[in-house]
Amino acid sequence: MMEETILDALRTRPGEYVSGEELSRSVGVSRTAIWKEIQHLRAEGYRILAQPHAGYQLAGIPDRLTPQELGWDLKTRRIGRRIYAYDATDSTMDIAHRLAGAGEPEGSVVVAERQSRGRGRLGRSWLSPKGKGIYISVILRPTVQLQTVPLVTLMAAVAAARAVERETGLRPGIKWPNDLMLGGKKIAGILTELNAELNRARYVIIGIGMNVNTPKTQLPARATSLAEEKGGRLDRVSLARALLVEVDRAYAEFLSEGFDGILEAWRGFASFLGRRIRVVAEGRTVDGQAVDVDSNGALLVRTDNGFVEPVAAGEVLVVR
Ligand code: BTN
């Protein structure tokens, strides 16, 4: 608590020294106690400059996704009001399911520095090396028909693409349904899991995995990371905050206006539309031209015999 108050005081005056006396007055403890807390914060990875007569200045935060750093002054309405952070876990999806099942409110977020059993779509695993990526699950409770839940996934893909573009200046493409791509390689993926009764969703968990500072050597061949593409380390904390802000914004857009705007934005990132593709879906293969997505988020493929076929789930290979 005391740490938080000190951090808040330093954060609100970036680039400035805040005197020990001022801190001791606002926290209500002695200057020696402030000094001890500063030592604790340094041990946690905060870079804090100290200058006699001037005081303390915040010069850097730890490269860790903590509730304090993610949640501080976060400009969101729903997403990230509560943040659960773990050093290591099996999968943030499992924790989010447990929380949601016990009544956790919409918008709560689970993050981990590392996952030992991160999972991806289509039964795959998601490599989650420590401190390199963003591994995050968000609990949503949208009141939508089951068949439109895939659109919630497209919404998350749009949010993630916007966050990447804003933070890095790199514009990712989206490969249906929700892989974020740079230079033909995957940088992020989204997994949506659902708990439902009959035709109503009780809750939806959106899991986002992003390769941020992951070196190529720790990635599968068809994947890359933002650092590899940008050519330098990126700030995971500010990227994760941008992600929460963009999910919040896209979700608010969907709640107030429905999916049309989101679909439009999705199309803007969907670099593969119009190309000849092969979709491998539930044991069958569909070849043809990627035309569009329909209002349920299914991919529309014009096959060689001229029919337009909706494909609800699967993996797209861009042929040419
Ligand atoms: C995919 O492209 O296959 C989806 C990958 C989703 C990975 C994220 S990481 C956070 C969350 N926890 C998991 O176990 N998976 C998702």
Please tell me the distance from the alpha carbon of residue 288 to that of residue 276, in angstroms, as a whole number. Answer: 6
Number of residues that make up the chain = 320
How would you list the strands of the sheet with 308-311, edge to edge? 308-311, 299-303, 284-293, 276-281, 315-318
Q: 120 CB under 6 A from ligand 1? A: yes
Residue nearest to atom 5 of ligand 1 (CA): 120
Residue 148: the pLDDT is 84
How far is Cα 37 from Cα 15, in angstroms, rounded to an integer? Answer: 20
d(CA 80, CA 94): 18
Phi, psi of 34 (to 5 degrees): -60, -45
Residue nearest to atom 8 of ligand 1 (CA): 209
Asked whether the beta carbons of 173 and 270 are under 8 A apart, the reply is yes
Residue nearest to atom 10 of ligand 1 (CA): 135
Closest ligand 1 atom, CA of 208? Answer: 8
- Residue 35 has a pLDDT of 94
Written as six digits, the tokens of 194 are 């659902």
pLDDT at site 1: 73
Q: What was the pLDDT predicted at 320?
A: 63
- Of 275, 79, 260, the closest CA to residue 163 belongs to 79
pLDDT < 70: residue spans in the chain: 320
Q: Is the Cβ atom of 91 under 6 angstroms away from ligand 1?
A: yes
Q: Is any atom of ligand 1 closer than 6 Å to the C-beta of 301?
A: no
Q: Is the beta carbon of 188 within 6 A of some atom in ligand 1?
A: no
Task: Enumerate the β-bridge partners of residue 18.
Answer: 56
Ligand 1 binding pocket includes 133 (Cβ within 6 Å):
no
The Cβ of residue 42 has, within 10 Å, a number of other Cβ atoms equal to 12
Atom of ligand 1 nearest to the CA of 120: 3
The 10 Å Cβ neighbour count of residue 222 is 10
Provide the whole-model pTM: 0.93
Residue 179, ligand 1, Cβ within 6 A = yes
Tell me what pLDDT residue 237 has: 97
Q: How far, in Å, is the centroid of ligand 1 from the Cα of 44?
A: 28
Parallel/antiparallel/unpaired status of strands 109-115 and 83-89: parallel
Question: Which residue's CA lies nearest to atom 3 of ligand 1?
Answer: 120
- Write the CA distances from 200 to 71, 121, 274, 279, 311, integer angstroms: 31, 22, 34, 28, 22
| Ligand 1 centroid distance, CA of 191 (Å) | 5
